[in-house]
Chains A and B, each alone.
Chain A
Amino acid sequence: MASFLFRTIQSHSFLLCPTTLLRRNNGAFYCSMKSTHTQTATQEKQQPPPKIKSSPQGNQAKTRTLDRISKEYEAIIGIETHVQLSTLTKAFCTCPYNYGAQPNTSVCPICMGLPGALPVVNSKVVEFAVKLGLALNCKLSFNSKFDRKQYFYPDLPKGYQISQFDIPIATGGYLDVDLPVEYGGGHRRFGITRVHMEEDAGKLLHADDGEYSQEITFPIIYALQVDLNRAGVPLLEIVSEPDMRTGLEAAEYAAELQRLVRYLGVSNGNMQEGSLRCDVNVSIRPVGQSKFGTKVEIKNLNSFSSINRAIDFEIARQALLYSQGKADQIVQETRLWEEGSQKTVTMRKKEGLADYRYFPEPDLPEVILNKEYVDSIQSSLPELPEMKRRRYEEMGLSMQDVLFLANDINVARFFDATIEKGADVKLAANWIMGDIAAYMKNEKLTINEIKLSAAELAELIASIKGATISGKIGKEILFELMAKGGTVKGIIIEKDLVQIVDPSEIEKMVDKVLSENPKQLEQYRGGKTKLQGFFAGQVMKISKGKANPGLLNKILLEKLNAKS
Chain B
Amino acid sequence: MLSTLHHPPRRLSRFFPANNKPRHFHTKPVLSSSQPVTDQSPSSTSPPESQILSIHHSLLSREVTATQLAETYLSRLKLAEPQLKSFIHVSNNVLKEAQSIDDKIKRNENVGPLAGVLVGVKDNICTVDMPSTAGSRVLENYRPPFDATAVKKVKEFDGIVVGKTNLDEFGMGSTTESSSFQVTANPWDISRVPGGSSGGSAAAVSARQCVVSLGSDTGGSVRQPASFCGVVGLKPTYGRVSRYGLIAYASSLDVIGCFGSSVADTGILLSAISGHDRLDATSSKQEVPDFTSQLISASLLESKPLKGLKVGVIRETLENRVDSGVKSTVLGAVSHLEELGCTLSEVSLPSFSLGLPAYYILASSESSSNLSRYDGVRYGNQAAAEDLNALYGDSRAKGFGSEVKMRILMGTYALSAGYYDAYYKRAQQVRTLIQKSFKTALDENDILISPAAPSAAYKIGEKKNDPLAMYSGDIMTVNVNLAGLPALVLPCGFVEGGPVGLPVGLQMIGAAFDEGKLLKVGHIFEQTLQGCRFVPPLIADGIPQ
Q: Chain A interface (Cβ within 8 Å of chain B)?
A: 4-5, 7-10, 12-14, 16-18, 21-22, 24, 26-31, 109, 112-121, 148, 150, 152, 154, 157-160, 216, 218-219, 221, 226, 353, 355, 357-359, 362-365
Q: Is the CB of B247 within 8 A of A218?
A: no
From B377, B387, B420, A226 is in contact (CB under 8 Å) with B377
C-alpha gap A148/B411 in the complex (Å): 14
Q: Chain B interface (Cβ within 8 Å of chain A)?
A: 125-126, 128, 132, 134, 139, 142-146, 148, 243-248, 250-252, 278-282, 365-366, 368-369, 371-379, 382, 384-388, 391-392, 412, 415-417, 420, 424
From A10, A22, A115, B139 is in contact (CB under 8 Å) with A115
Q: Is the CB of A359 within 8 A of B378?
A: no
Q: Is the CB of B145 within 8 A of A5?
A: no
With a cutoff of 8 Å between Cβ atoms, the chain B residues found around residue A148 in the complex are: 369
User: 4 additional contacts, CB 8 Å, given A221-B387, A357-B420?
Assistant: A13-B146, A14-B145, A24-B378, A116-B247
With a cutoff of 8 Å between Cβ atoms, the chain A residues found around residue B369 in the complex are: 148, 150, 159-160, 357, 359
Count chain A CB atoms within 10 A of each CB in B250, B279, B365 and give the residue with the most.
B279
Q: Is the CB of A109 within 8 A of B145?
A: yes
Q: Is the CB of A12 within 8 A of B417?
A: no
C-alpha gap A398/B282 in the complex (Å): 55
C-alpha gap A159/B370 in the complex (Å): 8
Q: Is the CB of A117 within 8 A of B365?
A: no
Q: Is the CB of B415 within 8 A of A357?
A: yes
The answer to whether residues A355 and B416 also contact, given A115-B247, A116-B245, A160-B372 and a CB cut-off of 8 A, is: yes
With a cutoff of 8 Å between Cβ atoms, the chain B residues found around residue A216 in the complex are: 388
Q: Is the CB of B146 within 8 A of A152?
A: no
Q: Is the CB of B385 within 8 A of A28?
A: yes
Q: Which 4 A-B pairs have the closest CB atoms?
A: A159-B372, A17-B145, A362-B251, A362-B252
With a cutoff of 8 Å between Cβ atoms, the chain A residues found around residue B142 in the complex are: 115
C-alpha gap A168/B425 in the complex (Å): 19
C-alpha gap A355/B373 in the complex (Å): 18
C-alpha gap A365/B128 in the complex (Å): 28
With a cutoff of 8 Å between Cβ atoms, the chain B residues found around residue A357 in the complex are: 368-369, 412, 415-417, 420
With a cutoff of 8 Å between Cβ atoms, the chain B residues found around residue A9 in the complex are: 278-279
Q: Is the CB of A152 within 8 A of B392?
A: yes
Q: Is the CB of A26 within 8 A of B384?
A: yes
From A18, A120, A226, B279 is in contact (CB under 8 Å) with A120
Q: Is the CB of B382 within 8 A of A28?
A: yes
Q: Is the CB of B144 within 8 A of A112?
A: no
A-B contacts, 6 listed (Cβ < 8 Å): A13-B145, A115-B132, A116-B146, A118-B244, A152-B372, A355-B416
With a cutoff of 8 Å between Cβ atoms, the chain A residues found around residue B244 in the complex are: 116-118
With a cutoff of 8 Å between Cβ atoms, the chain B residues found around residue A29 in the complex are: 377-378, 382, 391
From A113, A115, A219, B144 is in contact (CB under 8 Å) with A115
Q: Is the CB of A359 within 8 A of B280?
A: no
Q: Is the CB of B126 within 8 A of A157?
A: no
With a cutoff of 8 Å between Cβ atoms, the chain A residues found around residue B144 in the complex are: 109, 114-116
The answer to whether residues A359 and B420 also contact, given A8-B278, A119-B281 and a CB cut-off of 8 A, is: yes
Question: Closest CB of chain B to A147's CB: distance in Å?
Answer: 10
The answer to whether residues A355 and B375 also contact, given A28-B382, A118-B280 and a CB cut-off of 8 A, is: no
With a cutoff of 8 Å between Cβ atoms, the chain A residues found around residue B416 in the complex are: 355, 357
C-alpha gap A121/B278 in the complex (Å): 10
From A10, A21, A160, B379 is in contact (CB under 8 Å) with A21
Q: Is the CB of A16 within 8 A of B377?
A: no
Q: Is the CB of A158 within 8 A of B373?
A: yes
C-alpha gap A158/B372 in the complex (Å): 6
Q: Is the CB of A112 within 8 A of B378?
A: yes
Question: Closest CB of chain A to B65's CB: distance in Å?
Answer: 30
With a cutoff of 8 Å between Cβ atoms, the chain B residues found around residue A18 in the complex are: 143, 145
Question: Closest CB of chain A to B373's CB: distance in Å?
Answer: 5
Q: Is the CB of A157 within 8 A of B245?
A: no
What residue in chain A is nearest B254 (Cβ atoms)?
Answer: A362
With a cutoff of 8 Å between Cβ atoms, the chain A residues found around residue B392 in the complex are: 152
Question: Closest CB of chain A to B140's CB: distance in Å?
Answer: 13
Q: Is the CB of A154 within 8 A of B377?
A: yes
C-alpha gap A118/B243 in the complex (Å): 8
From A16, A28, A157, B373 is in contact (CB under 8 Å) with A157
Q: Is the CB of B126 within 8 A of A363?
A: no
Question: Closest CB of chain B to A269's CB: distance in Å?
Answer: 29
The answer to whether residues A28 and B145 also contact, given A116-B246, A357-B412, A359-B415 and a CB cut-off of 8 A, is: no
With a cutoff of 8 Å between Cβ atoms, the chain A residues found around residue B248 in the complex are: 115-116, 363
Question: Closest CB of chain B to A534's CB: distance in Å?
Answer: 82
Q: Is the CB of A359 within 8 A of B245?
A: no
Q: Is the CB of B384 within 8 A of A359?
A: no
With a cutoff of 8 Å between Cβ atoms, the chain A residues found around residue B378 in the complex are: 21-22, 24, 29-31, 112-114, 157, 226
C-alpha gap A30/B281 in the complex (Å): 29
With a cutoff of 8 Å between Cβ atoms, the chain B residues found around residue A7 in the complex are: 278
With a cutoff of 8 Å between Cβ atoms, the chain A residues found around residue B417 in the complex are: 353, 355, 357
With a cutoff of 8 Å between Cβ atoms, the chain B residues found around residue A355 in the complex are: 416-417
Question: Closest CB of chain A to B458's CB: distance in Å?
Answer: 31
Q: Is the CB of A219 within 8 A of B145?
A: no
Q: Is the CB of A115 within 8 A of B373?
A: yes
With a cutoff of 8 Å between Cβ atoms, the chain B residues found around residue A114 in the complex are: 144-146, 378-379
The answer to whether residues A21 and B246 also contact, given A8-B278, A10-B279, A357-B417 and a CB cut-off of 8 A, is: no
Question: Closest CB of chain B to A152's CB: distance in Å?
Answer: 6
The answer to whether residues A219 and B386 also contact, given A10-B279, A359-B415 and a CB cut-off of 8 A, is: yes
With a cutoff of 8 Å between Cβ atoms, the chain B residues found around residue A218 in the complex are: 386-388
C-alpha gap A263/B182 in the complex (Å): 61
From A14, A21, A154, A359, B143 is in contact (CB under 8 Å) with A21
With a cutoff of 8 Å between Cβ atoms, the chain A residues found around residue B382 in the complex are: 24, 26-29
Q: Is the CB of B279 within 8 A of A28?
A: no
With a cutoff of 8 Å between Cβ atoms, the chain A residues found around residue B246 in the complex are: 116
